Amino acid sequence: MEQKKDIKSMSLQQLTEELVVLGEKKFRAAQIYGWMHQKLVTDFEEMTNISKNTRKMLREQFELVSLKKIDCKISAIDGTRKYLFGLSDGHVIESVLMKYNHGNSVCISSQVGCRMGCRFCASTLDGLSRNLRPSEMLDQIYQIQKDIQERVSNVVVMGSGEPLDNYDNLLQFIHLLTDANGLSISQRNVTVSTCGLVPQMHRLADEKLQITLALSLHASNNDVRKTLMPIANRYLLSEVLEACDYYFEQTGRRMTFEYSLVKGVNDGQQQADELAELIGNRNCHINLIPVNPIKERNFVQTDAKNVNNFKKLLEKKRINVTIRREMGRDIDGACGQLRKRYMDQLKEEHSDGGVCADRCGEEASN
């Protein structure tokens, strides 16, 4: 059977063209688009100013992607919420809501799993299952905004997956998210984090968007970076930083560098000096993240005192640096950990002859 078209991934213009071909008036497209992207309905039946016949036609022609909330864990420490969502094909993804003074920030997944293989990351342990569609990226935000009944003001694409490995869908997602006819989130409030896919970074720079690009650096030289991130075998730091400079030139947006501190691996004084040297006088910002240990690997977190020392060493060299507050530590805060635990649990239940994935989802959301 031919798959129905994914109506939530369409721009207003694409939707208008589709509907005109199906004999509808142009203004109908704007109404339907508003229902999906502003009123955030999850079913065609909720589109009350659309006639019954048109709703029937929509149902027949299109799929309206809507994620199923399987679980939501709320941190007792800081109110961070970690969501598990089910996709229509049975896959499971996770998203995080972080509450800051400046507003609500949602961290979304861009792929089911990941194929980049970063050693400290839980998202990549089982490889990549598939890319997320624009609608599936959007709906993580839509569902969360509906759930908390507050506006989401910031979006970071820093959950599971490598966003630039899903380039076209990512771009369409950003256009839909920041569209004035949708949630209209400012491009400046959107951050995309990459492990450093150089050609795609150039391509993104050429789009001349106003989003922030964050690079997962994690090391001050190629040798250490290779031990943490397989992608470092493909691109040298010099090439990655050149792509960062190009991004800044094209967009005027200051880069963010992420640096996860792993005890005894990349957190020494020598490394801080080397990092300062590497960054030089770039107009940028470094985010230090004490690595969040995962049980499958034996990386150890740098202790708080040394994190502070590392920060001070960089500040001495006039580098803009912050320590990322650990959010939701009590609820599997690190990328992919909640999903991983859920999947492992399912596997165990299966081997006990337990419930199947779909049932489990129903039970959890009831």
- Contact string 56-95 vs ligand SAH (x = CB under 6 A): ----------------------------------------
Task: Based on the shown chain and the rule CB under 6 A, indicate whether residue 141 belongs to the binding site for ligand SAH.
Answer: no
Cα-only R_g, the chain: 21
Among 12, 289, 307, 313, binds ligand SAH (CB under 6 A): 289
Q: Which is nearer to ligand SAH, 64 or 321 (CB)?
A: 321
Rank residues 64 and 289 by Cβ distance to ligand SAH and give the closer one. Answer: 289
Is 114 known to be catalytic? no
d(CA 211, CA 49): 35
211 binds ligand SAH, rule: CB under 6 A: no
Output the six-digit token pair for 308.
């502070």
- Cβ-contact 196, 231 below 8 angstroms: yes
Q: Per CB under 6 A, does 198 bind ligand SAH?
A: no
Tell me the HSE value of 139 on the side-chain side, using a 13 A CA sphere: 25
CB contact at 8 A, 92 and 85: yes
Which of residues 104 and 194 has its CB atom nearest to ligand SAH in the complex? 194
CB of 88 to ligand SAH, least distance (A): 24
Segment lying near ligand SAH (by CB under 6 A), choices 13-21, 171-179, 288-296, 305-313: 288-296
Backbone phi and psi for residue 274, each to the nearest 5 degrees, phi listed first: -65, -35
Contacts (CB under 6 A) with ligand SAH, residues 245-284 = 258, 260
Cβ-based nearer residue to ligand SAH, 35 or 259: 259
Give the contacts of 101 (CB within 8 A, at least 6 positions apart): none
Residue placing its CB nearer to ligand SAH in the complex, 37 or 340:
340
Rounded Cα gap, residues 120 and 262, in angstroms = 9
Interacting stretch for ligand SAH, rule CB under 6 A, among 63-71, 75-83, 115-123, 358-366?
A: 115-123
* Active-site position among 94, 136, 162, 258: 94
Alpha carbon 102 to chain centroid, angstroms: 19
Q: Which residues contact 146 (CB under 8 A, 6 or more apart)?
A: 40
Between CA 308 and CA 290 the distance in angstroms is 10
Binding residue for ligand SAH (CB under 6 A) from 291, 314, 321, 338? 291
Residue from 140, 166, 212, 292 touching ligand SAH (CB under 6 A): that is 292
Tokens encoding 244: 């960062």
- Structural contact between residues 72 and 83, judged by C-beta atoms closer than 8 angstroms: yes
> Could you confirm whether 17 is annotated as catalytic?
no
The window from 114-122, 277-285, 302-310, 344-352 that contacts ligand SAH (CB under 6 A) reads 114-122
- The least distance separating ligand SAH from the CB of residue 34, rounded to whole angstroms, comes to 31
Query: Which residue number, 71 or 258, has a Cβ lying nearer to ligand SAH?
Result: 258
Q: State the CB neighbour count (10 A cutoff) for residue 77.
A: 13
User: What does the alpha-carbon distance between residue 237 and residue 242 come to, in Å, rounded to a whole number?
Assistant: 8
Q: How many CB atoms lie within 10 A of CB 44?
A: 19
Q: Which is nearer to ligand SAH, 119 or 146 (CB)?
A: 119
CB atoms within 10 A of CB 360: 19
Element (H, E) at 175: helix 167-178
Segment contacting ligand SAH by CB under 6 A, of 37-45, 127-135, 170-178, 191-199: 191-199
Catalytic residue IDs: 94, 335
Query: Interface residues with ligand SAH (CB under 6 A)?
Result: 116, 118, 120-121, 158, 162, 193-195, 216, 258, 260, 289, 291-292, 294, 334-335
